[in-house]
Amino acid sequence: MIAKYKEPAMRLVFLFCACISILAVVLICIFLFVQGFPAMANIGPFKFLFGSTWDPDASKFGILPMIIGSIYVTAGAILFGVPIGLLCATFLAKFCPQPLYRILKPAINLLAGIPSVVYGFFGLVVIVPAMRQFFGGSGKSVLTASLMLGIMILPTIINVSESAIRAVPQSYYEGSLALGATHERSVFHVCLPAAKSGIMAGIILGVGRAMGEALAVSMIAGNQPVIPESIFAGVRTLTANIVLEMGYAEGLHKEALIATAVVLFIFILIINVSFSLAKKKKG
């Protein structure tokens, strides 16, 4: 009798959990848009999005420098993190000896569990002085933040991509070998293309992590609310701008920071949709 109702009951539990997740997203969206859009209307959408001056004391709330800074830093993180993460996932799935795998896999999982503040402190103590020594300046720059974020997104890309590569049927690989292809050619020309959907999902998650990171970036990026002239210049991202000023912001200043969160949310949404469309087009 109990077994008869167990499956329907669990379906209801799963449905309830899914609804809770959807409700949480909806409530966050409502809060952001209700609080953010009036500030945009008050400041002026064009002045807010394309203004190059962020000076709350003078009631100037232009977030263009932060938008460009977020794009630069995220693009740099992708350039650093995606190739290394994908190659590492391929090595773990198809080339890594089992004794070495037992060491590397826990190390990668541990890398995923390190708090953002520890990454930021590592960047502040190790990467920033190295950048200062090699390239001059303060060491806090777009390049430094990109390198740090590239390291931070590695566990996400590696774990998701490895799972996707391992999910490819073994018959694909064996069929390629039977046709005369080498092990390397079979992996890179058969297994990886077959796993592109899962790999793309890992990249999307990594980009979302890079775009949404605040604490580590605020510690090593320089926090200068100006458009960076080079990759060695200081920069402030959208997330860092919110974290640095939300604690003491009031009135229109606070509303402008919430509006900044709306812009960040829309950016991440656009990135996810763009990747999904590109994936479907290639498929």
Judgement on whether residues 174 and 221 belong to the same structural domain of the protein: yes
**Domain coverage including residue 113:** 63-282
Judgement on whether residues 106 and 243 belong to the same structural domain of the protein: yes
Rounded distance between C-alpha atoms, residue 255 and residue 38, angstroms: 8
Judge whether 56 lies within some domain: no
Rounded distance between C-alpha atoms, residue 20 and residue 241, angstroms: 30
Q: What angle do CA 118, 82, 177 make, to 5 degrees?
A: 130
Judgement on whether residues 215 and 150 belong to the same structural domain of the protein: yes
Cα four-point dihedral sign 246, 154, 67, 270: negative
202, 157 contact by CB (below 8 A): yes
Judgement on whether residues 186 and 269 belong to the same structural domain of the protein: yes
164, 199 contact by CB (below 8 A): yes
Judgement on whether residues 174 and 137 belong to the same structural domain of the protein: yes
Judgement on whether residues 71 and 157 belong to the same structural domain of the protein: yes
**What are the pLDDT tens digits along the chain (283 aa)?**
566 677 778 888 888 988 998 899 889 888 888 888 888 888 888 888 888 888 888 888 889 999 999 999 999 999 999 999 999 999 999 998 999 999 999 999 888 888 888 998 999 999 999 998 888 888 888 999 999 999 999 999 999 999 999 998 988 888 888 888 888 899 899 899 988 888 888 888 888 888 888 888 888 888 888 888 888 888 888 888 888 888 888 888 888 898 998 888 888 888 777 777 766 665 5
Domain count, the chain: 2
Judgement on whether residues 227 and 274 belong to the same structural domain of the protein: yes
The CB density around residue 32, as the number of other CB atoms within 10 Å, is 18
Judgement on whether residues 72 and 201 belong to the same structural domain of the protein: yes
Rounded distance between C-alpha atoms, residue 243 and residue 70, angstroms: 14
Residues counted in the chain: 283
Judgement on whether residues 40 and 148 belong to the same structural domain of the protein: no
Judge whether 58 lies within some domain: no
Cα four-point dihedral sign 203, 157, 65, 116: positive
pTM of the model: 0.85
Judgement on whether residues 122 and 20 belong to the same structural domain of the protein: no
